[in-house]
């Protein structure tokens, strides 16, 4: 049994057909959350977002922090992008964009690309500095300090070694209500 699912790529608005067979262990959707690919990681991320549902803050926003703090920086970027894209012109657009850029910077560091990482950190700083010290239960001032710390590390170490390791990976904490 084959089923064809059509979806639209956000970047180009081109229709894509994806074929799913009945024997596939990975569904395209878990609850209301769609998956982009049929991988174990995608299923894990969709389940993570589903577990964040029903809380005070958006499940994608909470999922971002879960992924980021697990060192899943690309996935953090991807999860929050789902929230940012339809709201990018809203009051939280630059806030979400800054957090996406922050995660993206660490994707570049994982791949050993310090210059693009530093560029994204600067962009993230520019987007996040527009917000109050605490916004959406995030201590924005602490995130700005974290960005400054990593920019300094990149300027100091980028020519000798990659400063990102599993021990040095950053963590973000939401404040309690």
* Residue 46: predicted pLDDT: 83
Q: Report d(CA 51, CA 57) in Å as an integer.
A: 12
CA dihedral sign, ordered 62, 67, 68, 70: positive
Q: Which helix (H) or strand (E) holds 20?
A: strand 15-21
Q: Report d(CA 94, CA 126) in Å as an integer.
A: 9
Query: pLDDT tens digit string along 58-98?
Result: 999 999 999 999 999 999 999 999 999 999 999 999 999 99
Which domains, from first to last, does the chain contain?
Answer: 32-157 (1.10.3450.10)
* Residue 160: predicted pLDDT: 67
Q: What is the mean pLDDT for each group of 10 consecutive residues in the chain (177 residues)?
A: 39 33 35 45 81 90 95 94 93 97 96 94 98 97 97 81 84 92
Q: What is the pTM of this model?
A: 0.75
- Other C-beta atoms closer than 10 Å to the C-beta of 161 total 10
Task: Produce one character per residue of 91-108: b if its CB has 16 or more CB atoms within 10 Å, e if not.
Answer: ebebbbbbbbbbbbbbbb
Q: Report d(CA 80, CA 127) in Å as an integer.
A: 15
């Amino acid at each position: 049994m084959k089923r064809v699912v059509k979806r639209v790529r956000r970047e180009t608005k081109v229709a894509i057909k994806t074929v799913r067979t009945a024997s596939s262990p990975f569904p395209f959707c878990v609850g209301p959350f769609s998956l982009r690919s049929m991988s174990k990681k995608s299923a894990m991320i969709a389940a993570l977002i589903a577990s964040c549902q029903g809380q005070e803050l958006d499940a994608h926003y909470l999922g971002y922090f879960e992924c980021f703090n697990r060192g899943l920086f690309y996935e953090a970027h991807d999860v929050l992008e789902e929230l940012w894209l339809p709201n990018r012109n809203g009051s939280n657009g630059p806030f979400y964009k800054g957090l996406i850029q922050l995660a993206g910077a660490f994707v570049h560091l994982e791949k050993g690309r310090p210059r693009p990482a530093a560029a994204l950190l600067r962009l993230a700083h520019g987007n996040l500095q527009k917000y109050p010290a605490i916004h959406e239960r995030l201590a924005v001032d602490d995130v700005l300090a974290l960005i400054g710390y990593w920019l300094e590390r990149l300027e100091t170490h980028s020519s000798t070694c990659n400063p990102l390791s599993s021990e040095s990976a950053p963590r973000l904490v939401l404040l309690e209500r």
